[in-house]
Amino acid sequence: MSEELLNLKDVKKYFGLRGAPWRKAQAVRAVDGVNLVVRKGETVGLVGESGSGKSTLARVATRLLDPTQGRVEIGGTDVTKVRGRRLRPIRRRIQMVFQDPQASLNPRQSVGTILSTPYRAQGIRPTRAQLVELLEQVGLAEQYLERYPHEFSGGQRQRIGIARALSVKPDLLVCDEPVSALDVSVQAQVLNLLADLRDELGLSYVLVAHDLAVVRQVADRIAVMYLGTIVEEGPAAEVYEAPAHPYTKALLSAVPVPEPGVERDRIVLTGDVPTPIDPPSGCPFRTRCYKAQDVCATQRPVLEPVAGNTEHRAACYFPEPPPPERT
């Protein structure tokens, strides 16, 4: 099995809510006990609805946020307690691409300055040739080096964000909703670019997205989050073809398909995602689940192999049966 680039062990991230002094302090359990391994060369899709904790998990993995509990291992070393300057060599291995390229690029810096910042953080002075090569890698021409972010379209800005992340030659890119702010035609360009870079540079990705079709296009493996926990994890093809967790099944069935007349067996969930301040007892999904029984309220189900397949796991007492063998 190939090298582990990222290993999250029972990671929890709680945010304190400071209310009025006479009220009990509350915590938002954004990430509530997640285990996740990313190996060299693979693309892991992290999907879930808003408030599921997927972005927080991405930020903990890149050490932009400190976990409340648990371990973050990058390239086999425990980096949970590493802080400040000593994080820099670690950041060379793992970089992040953000959702909003408008907000994540400094409007007062030229593209050249933006791209050379990660080098300088590593104590390197990049040559112009290096910066041009970066631009070319993401499909932009040399002349853009002197321009400023406002002169670019959204798709081009996202390319600059990707080039900046690539500058220190990381092994793993964590992309938080990299295409959700882009138009459909431009989104496809960026998705193809990510795939090309993976093939050329042997990159691995963690792709955080709410758009399940986007994730299916690029991910090898997929982890579905709900209310701070992973409820199902497995090879993308299997999870999409035969989801085991009722939530995954409902989520996939809700995505409209761009083909008129295709009838989907839609499971319309009632209600909204409960608040992560006071999640339901037992299974976090039981309040909206169409299969919930008394046992679901007692103890939180753990990820268990689906039909004996250790690669595909779901946290449910009543997982969907696997599809009959195709003959």
Partner 1 sequence: MAEPVLEVHDLHVTFTTEGGLVPAVDGIDFAVAPGETLAIVGESGSGKSVSSAAVMGLLPSNAEVTGEVLLDGRELIGLPGDELRKIRGNDIAMVFQDALSALNPYYSVGWQVAEAYRLHHDVSKKKAHQRAIEMLDKVGIPDAVRRADSYPHEFSGGMRQRVVIAMALVNDPRVLIADEPTTALDVTVQAQIMRLLDDVQAEFGTALVLISHDLGVVAEVADDVLVMYAGRAAERGTVRDIFFRAAHPYALGLLGAMPRVDVPPKPRLTTIPGTPPTPGSITTGCPFQPRCAYTHLVGERCITERPELTPRPGEGDHEAACHLGRRPEVLL
Residue numbers 121-180 binding partner 1 by CB under 8 A: 153-156
Show the CA angle centred on residue 238, arms to residues 232 and 240, nearest 5°.
75
Is residue 90 a contact point for partner 1 (CB under 8 A)?
no
The mark string for 205-244 relative to partner 1 (x by CB under 8 A, - otherwise) is -----xxxxx-xxx------------------x--x----
Is residue 272 a contact point for partner 1 (CB under 8 A)?
yes
Identity of the residue, 72 or 231, whose beta carbon is nearer to partner 1 in the bound complex: 231
Q: What pairing do the DSSP bridges indicate for beta strands 26-39 and 43-47?
A: unpaired
Binding partner 1 (rule: CB under 8 A), the pick from 21, 107, 123, 258 is 258
Is residue 103 a contact point for partner 1 (CB under 8 A)?
no
Q: Which stretch binds partner 1 (CB under 8 A): 68-76, 80-88, 183-191, 316-324?
A: 183-191
Beta bridge partners, 173, equal 95, 205
Binding partner 1 (rule: CB under 8 A), the pick from 184, 200, 308, 325 is 184
Q: Which stretch binds partner 1 (CB under 8 A): 20-28, 85-93, 165-173, 248-256?
A: 248-256
Q: What is the DSSP string of 17-60?
A: E---TTSPPEEEEEEEEEEEEEETT-EEEEE--TTSSHHHHHHH
Identity of the residue, 192 or 281, whose beta carbon is nearer to partner 1 in the bound complex: 192
Cβ of residue 30: shortest distance to partner 1, in angstroms? 16
Cβ of residue 269: shortest distance to partner 1, in angstroms? 5
Element (H, E) at 120: helix 111-121
Listed residue (103, 255, 121) closest to 181, CA to CA: 103
Is residue 189 a contact point for partner 1 (CB under 8 A)?
yes
Is residue 49 a contact point for partner 1 (CB under 8 A)?
yes
Listed residue (71, 48, 75, 59) closest to 222, CA to CA: 48
- Rounded to a whole number of angstroms, the CA Rg of the chain reads 21
Backbone φ and ψ for 216, nearest 5 degrees, come out as: -60, -35
CB 226 within 8 A of CB 315: no
Residues found near partner 1 in the complex (CB under 8 A): 49-50, 153-156, 183-189, 191-192, 195, 210-214, 216-218, 237, 240, 250-252, 254-262, 264, 266, 268-270, 272-273
